[in-house]
Each structure stands twice: as C-alpha cells, then as structure tokens.
Amino acid sequence: MLQQISIFAENRRGMMKEIAGALASEQINILGSVTNDSAEYGIVRMIVSDADRAYKVLTDMGCLCKLTKVIGVEITDEPGMLHKLLSAIHESYININYMYLSYNRDSGKPIIILHTEDVYEVEDALSGKGFTVKS
C-alpha cells in the first residue's frame, strides 16, 4: 500500500520551492504530485520515496501534513487504458475521491494514484481483475 503525504500549504510565492527544497535536502524523491489551491491555502498531495521522513521534515518546517493510504495502479501507456481501469472500478461499485498520475521509473509505465474509502477492498478488486497494484 502506498502512503501519500498531504501538505496544507499557505498559498504564497515560494512555498512550493520551500517544500521541494526541504525534501531535496533530505534526498527524498517526489514520485508524483498534484496541487489544489484556494485563495489562502492549498493542498499538495505527493507520493515520495520516504513518506514518514517527508512528514517529519515538513512538519519540522511548520507545515501541517497528513499521511494517507492510497492505491497505485500501473497501466500501459496506450489509448483506452484509463477508461479500462475506470470501467473496472465502476463495475465494482467503487467511488474514487480523487486521482492523479505518477509513473514507474523502472518500467516507464504510468501509475494512476487513487484515493477511495476502502483502499484494501479496492486493491483486492483491481488485482482480481488483472491490474498491477503497486505498494
């Protein structure tokens, strides 16, 4: 099971640079990320090489952070694969709260990061349908 770090960050000039710099200084690699913003604060969701250490580094610099279990599903990079994955999820009566993209640096294949209510159930459902679920 993958762990995602969510960072509640002030929406100000240089904040993303500070976050990236803090992770870089600890040799923590950002493997995937999505940012949602509002007027004053944003949520930066990341898959990193060491979520527990990233949590410590970022909370030490004053960020409010949360670790969350998410699912990574590796797919081939060809037309229709996202639709195939979403169809399998729909057939299993699963609701997706949000999703974003990463990729497997070894295979070069995309990895869809999913957040759902019951990550273990979804992991079993997708594995049972032949999808490669990353942990």
CATH of residue 85: 3.30.70.260
Domain hosting 94: range is 70-134
Question: Could you read off the pLDDT of 50-80 as tens digits, one per residue?
Answer: 999 999 999 999 999 999 999 999 999 999 9
* pTM of the predicted protein model: 0.87
Distance separating alpha carbons of residues 6 and 63, to the nearest angstrom: 10
Distance separating alpha carbons of residues 41 and 64, to the nearest angstrom: 11
pLDDT-derived band at 38, boundaries 50, 70, 90:
confident
Is the same domain home to 56 and 76? no
Beta strands in the chain (DSSP E): 2-10, 30-37, 41-48, 64-74, 96-103, 110-116, 132-134
Q: What is the mean pLDDT of residues 2-20?
A: 91
The residue among 54, 78, 79 whose CA lies nearest residue 66 is 54
Comparison of pLDDT for 91 and 37, the residue scoring more: 91
3-state secondary structure (DSSP) of residue 22: helix
Name the domain boundary from 50, 66, 82.
66
The pLDDT, as a whole number, for residue 103 is 86
The residues near 14 (Cβ < 8 Å, ≥ 6 apart) are none
